[in-house]
Amino acid sequence: MELNLLDLQTKLQGYGVLISFSGRFTQEIIEELGDAVKKYLETESTSKNDTYNVFSVFIEQTQNIKNYSVSKAGGLLGDRIANSGIVAIGKSEAGYFVSSGNFIENKDIAALAGRLEEILAQDKAGLKKMYKDQLKKEIPPDCTGAGLGLIDMARRSSKPLTYSMVRLDDELSFFTLKVYA
Amino acid sequence: MERLSIEKTKSTPEVLFDPETCELRIEGQSYPENAFKFYEPVLAWLDDFLRQLDREVVLEFYFNMPYINTRSSKCVMMLLEKLENAYVGGKGVAVRWYYDTDNETALECAEEFKEDLTLPFEISAIEAEK
């Protein structure tokens, strides 16, 4: 099937997508896209706080995806996971949003869903407490993450986080997370 | 002790620790690929410095970090805990946290760090860079 870029672009714009990237995330790509997001919002005369929140959610989402693929690198599914990243920053009537997606191993689904449900069950004060507890927790030295990203996004989000997990085959599922900044 | 000087990059702050003047500064955004790796030498330097810090001297720690990702926040918390322990142990330590007037999130972030600490912690607004 011939790639129809106009069709792809029209679809993206139909969803309100302003900037998107699909492919392997590297720190350089995250930094450049982050700058692009910031510059775009600044020219749109968005408030400093909105700009900050969108940028912040963008960094947490993309670094989560990158760290997850780093943790799977060298494994049998490493390449499939590393190439599966996608992020879209857009604007809808409800405000700016950052959506991201990537492949995750089916065996990791239960823990991730449990974590997200735990976060979704909290109110503002509960999230703050969760964040602070996690901030002070000792973390193992080989751990790349601090376990704070999802809580932080939930705290910044103007609406509850939404997520989905679609099973692709016996090994992988596609995970998406949408955050209204 | 040797000075610690790390240049700023797009995703890491400038770090300037001067043992002579007892002035330590961290300035800039922080969202590196691996925050723990970036802050490891910073925390190690601080450990050594606090160990030999004279009780008569006041260490001034300046922060100006407009954006900190969560992994870097964890490292900043570890750093502040070291300062707090030194303070509780009777050493002179003062934190001054600067933020741009129109960056409310940076202010909230500083206030949250301050909440659980007892050491002198001053938060000041400065005019945003234009």
- Domains of chain B, by residue range, sit at 4-126
Task: Report the top-level CATH class of B4-126.
Answer: alpha beta
Q: What residue type is assigned to position A40 of the chain?
A: Y
Q: Is A132 left (phi over 0), alpha (psi -120 to 50) or beta?
A: alpha
Residue A144 scores a pLDDT above 60: no
**Dihedral sign (CA B75, A114, A52, A43):** positive
pLDDT (0 to 100) of residue A99 = 97
The beta-carbon neighbor of A49 closest among B77, B81, B105 is B105
Evaluate whether residue A10 is within a structural domain: no
- Proportion of chain B above pLDDT 70, given as a percent: 98
CB < 8 Å from B in window 109-128 of A: 128
The beta-carbon neighbor of B10 closest among A31, A146, A149 is A31
Evaluate whether residue A110 is within a structural domain: yes
Residues in chain A with CB shorter than 8 Å from the CB of B37 are none
Looking at the structure of chain A, the number of domains it has is 1
| CATH code of the domain containing A115 | 3.30.565.10
How many angstroms separate the CA of residue A41 from the nearest CA in chain B?
15
Contact with chain B for residue A148, Cβ under 8 A: yes
Contact with chain B for residue A73, Cβ under 8 A: no
How many angstroms separate the CA of residue B20 from the nearest CA in chain A?
31
Distance CA A176, CA A164 (A): 5
How many angstroms separate the CA of residue A108 from the nearest CA in chain B?
21
The beta-carbon neighbor of A59 closest among B36, B69, B104 is B69
- Mean pLDDT (chain A) is 92
pLDDT (0 to 100) of residue A140 = 62
Phi and psi angles of residue A146, each rounded to the nearest 5 degrees, phi first: -110, 0
Residues in chain B with CB shorter than 8 Å from the CB of A49 are 103-105
Confidence band (pLDDT; 50, 70, 90) for A147? confident
Find the residue in B nearest to A142 (Cα): B36
Evaluate whether residue A8 is within a structural domain: no
pLDDT (0 to 100) of residue A136 = 87
How many angstroms separate the CA of residue A126 from the nearest CA in chain B?
15
How many angstroms separate the CA of residue A27 from the nearest CA in chain B?
6
Q: Do A53 and B32 touch (CB under 8 A)?
A: no
Q: Do A56 and B69 touch (CB under 8 A)?
A: yes
Q: Do A148 and B116 touch (CB under 8 A)?
A: no
Residues in chain B with CB shorter than 8 Å from the CB of A52 are 67, 103, 105
CA Rg, chain A, in Å? Answer: 17
Q: Could you list the residue range(s) of the whole structural domain that residue A116 is in?
A: 16-180
pLDDT (0 to 100) of residue B129 = 57
pLDDT (0 to 100) of residue B26 = 97
Q: Which residue has 């723990």 as its token pair?
A: B36
Residue A140 contacts residue B63 (beta carbons within 8 Å): no
Residue A148 contacts residue B74 (beta carbons within 8 Å): yes
pLDDT (0 to 100) of residue A138 = 77
Q: Do A144 and B103 touch (CB under 8 A)?
A: no
Confidence band (pLDDT; 50, 70, 90) for B56? confident
Evaluate whether residue A87 is within a structural domain: yes
Mean pLDDT to the nearest integer, B7-19: 96
Concatenated DSSP letters of A36-54: HHHHHHHHTT--HHHHHHH
Strand partners, B61: B24, B95
